[in-house]
Amino acid sequence: MAVQAFHTLWCRGLIATAAAAAALAAIEAAAAGRPARATAKPGLSAQVASLPAAGQPPSSGRAELGQDKADAERCVECHGLQGQGAGHPNGAEARVAKLAGQRASYIAKQVQDFRSGRRKHDQMAIVARNVADEDLHDIAAWFASLPPMNSGSTASANAAQGQALFEQGDPQRGIVPCGSCHGPQGRASEGSTADAPRLAGQEWRYLDQQLRAWRDGSRSNGPTPVMNQIARSLTDNEIEALAEFLSSR
């Protein structure tokens, strides 16, 4: 049961809601006929202003203890010995997230959301309820300390469309550049918000799956509903292009 559950640990989410929150602010501003940078009204757009910037203190987890705990919880059987995935690029396991270099706070939140039911997955809910918070934070800190994820893929012709959407957005549809929250190249570094995960180098099948989950509503565990709203504006081709671009970074 544990092995199967951890194969699906990350099969239901990676795209952060922070980018969508920024997009919602732009949509509301346009509807009100005012510049997007104006003071946000109370409600969802007000939450955009409260999103903390990157650079906050790291998780209290102890990375030096996390590796043994990740092994004991069998995380590495799906996410890889170095957090780069289990090495099955053409199978269902390819839809399991790479965790190497991911923000520890993001990893911990997703597991906690599985535990609480905010993020739906029957098997992962069982596993999450049996992982102590202290162990969870140590495991998350260890994954975060590893060299960043790398899919090993190269950019395809379709990725150019994804790059344009990531870097420029689509103002006519109220979609702000994804990089405004996820940082340049999706690396969740300078210029990113604190709750936005790293996307660069992630497995493209996983990215594709999660964008579709946000779009159809089967994933909705963000701090606001805005990621669902933004994802609903994306076409199948745009989702594929974004996934291919980010995977190649």
What percentage of the chain has pLDDT greater than the value 90? 44
| Distance, CA of 39 to CA of 156 (rounded, Å) | 40
Give residue 18's pLDDT: 38
| Distance, CA of 178 to CA of 171 (rounded, Å) | 12
**pTM for this one?**
0.75
Domain annotation for the chain: domains and CATH numbers: 2-12+57-145 (1.10.760.10), 18-36+153-247 (1.10.760.10)
Give residue 28's pLDDT: 45
| Distance, CA of 17 to CA of 224 (rounded, Å) | 7
135 vs 47, residue with greater confidence: 135
Give residue 174's pLDDT: 85
Residue 94 has pLDDT above 80, yes or no: no
The average pLDDT across 92-118 equals: 88
- How does pLDDT run across 201-217, given as a tens digit for each residue? 999 999 999 999 999 99
Q: Reduce the DSSP state of residue 228 to 3 states and report it.
A: helix
Q: How would you label 192-214 residue by residue, b for 16+ Cβ within 10 Å and e otherwise?
A: bbbbbbbbbbbbbbbbbbbbbbb
| Distance, CA of 109 to CA of 76 (rounded, Å) | 19
- How does pLDDT run across 48-88, given as a tens digit for each residue? 334 455 544 445 899 999 999 999 988 888 888 999 987 65
Q: How would you label 110-140 residue by residue, b for 16+ Cβ within 10 Å and e otherwise?
A: bbbbbbeeebbbebbbebbeebeeebbbbbb
The average pLDDT across 192-206 equals: 87
| Distance, CA of 201 to CA of 126 (rounded, Å) | 29
Give residue 190's pLDDT: 66
- How does pLDDT run across 142-192, given as a tens digit for each residue? 999 999 999 877 778 889 999 999 999 999 998 878 888 888 999 987 667
Residue 5 has pLDDT above 50, yes or no: no
* Mean pLDDT (the chain, rounded): 77
